[in-house]
Structure 1
Amino acid sequence: MENGPSLTVSLGGDGGGWRRPFPVRRRNRRGRGLRGDLLPAHLPGHLTRPEQFEQWVSESAERLEYFWGERIEAAQFVVEDIPPHLEELLARGQAAPLGSFTPAVPGRPAVVTVFRHPVQMAARLRAELPEIIHDVVVEQTAQLLNMAPEAVDPGYGRTRP
């Protein structure tokens, strides 16, 4: 027998009563389930959607820097909401670009730009977004390196049909 306080609770009966498993008891009825992010906005770990997008671009850039090191470490990876002159492109019937590449000139590094809104519109599901972002970053970096995207990153295009 243990030394110290203890607590025993008896609910009566033989203890063989029927109980439903937890997932059956807790149903999401009529859309009243969890909505939105798991972390509330006031907590330090919460990221807004634009911040999450920038984090995905940064992770893709870090992956490519791991593969290509010095060849792309001077390049800047930038996120913009929409491409410049978007109205003119759409008026001509052209699709909005998902990204762009500006080559390096003396005194200014190369810039790889990912356009947030067109990329978000290209994703059918939010879960596809990191893969599409990575593909856009790889495509633009391939232009920087003057290579095929498949040679820049072997994982390029794996989510496309």
Structure 2
Amino acid sequence: MAPVDPRSPASARRRDRRGRGPRGPLAWPAVPAMRSRRETFDDVVIDVAERAREYLGNRYAAVEFAVEEVPPTDPAPWEEQAAPVGRLVPVGGAVGHRIVVYRRPVEARARDAGEVSVIVREVVAEQVAALLGVPTSEIDL
């Protein structure tokens, strides 16, 4: 059998360039290490949004929940000039309203993953309360 040229494509499929063999993933998909911060944050928002549906009822069944990385650069005049962590966006037509949670400002304010979920619950509760016209203390997510 003839020796295989290390620069050939056949050699590259069998082992890496230093001859240590094929390399696999560092963690398997079932391990939480394979989930990105974005996916984890999305799961938190989905969980809180499902709990918020109880308060919204049939009247506001068309409310959408969304996650964006950062808020737009031009906050509305009635909003704080600091980076908002969430926003209630009225959308015309049959769509209804949209509650947007901004991932990066929430993560910047949180110290750990547990605090991220607390902040997300507070943000969604504030936006649902604003939509329903009730005090935030009446919304318990």
TM-score (norm 2): 0.68
2:61 to 64, 73, 83: 73
Query: What is the CA-CA distance between 1:104 and the residue it aligns to?
Result: 4.1
Q: Which residue of 1 aligns with 2:81?
A: 94
- Say if 2:120 is the partner of 1:133: yes
2:94 alignment partner, SS class: coil
Q: 1:103–1:144: 8 Å Cα contact kept in structure 2?
A: no
Question: Max radius of gyration: which structure?
Answer: 1
User: 1 or 2 for the larger relative contact order (CA 8 Å, sep ≥6)?
Assistant: 2
Give the whole-Å Cα distance in 1 for the aligned partners of 2:62 and 2:132.
Answer: 12
Q: How does 1:102-141 map to 2 (within 5 A)?
A: 102-141=89-128
Give the whole-Å Cα distance in 2 for the aligned partners of 1:127 and 1:64.
Answer: 19
Give the whole-Å Cα distance in 2 for the aligned partners of 1:81 and 1:75.
Answer: 20
How many residue pairs align between the two structures? 111
Unaligned 5+ segments in structure 1 are 1-38, 156-161
What are the Cα deviations for residues 105-159 of structure 1, in whole angstroms up to 9, with x where unaligned? 2233200000000000111222211111111111111111111111122x5xxxx
Cα RMSD for the two superposed structures: 2.4
2:105 alignment partner, SS class: helix
Between Structure 1 and Structure 2, the one with more strand by share is 2
Unaligned 5+ segments in structure 2 are 1-25
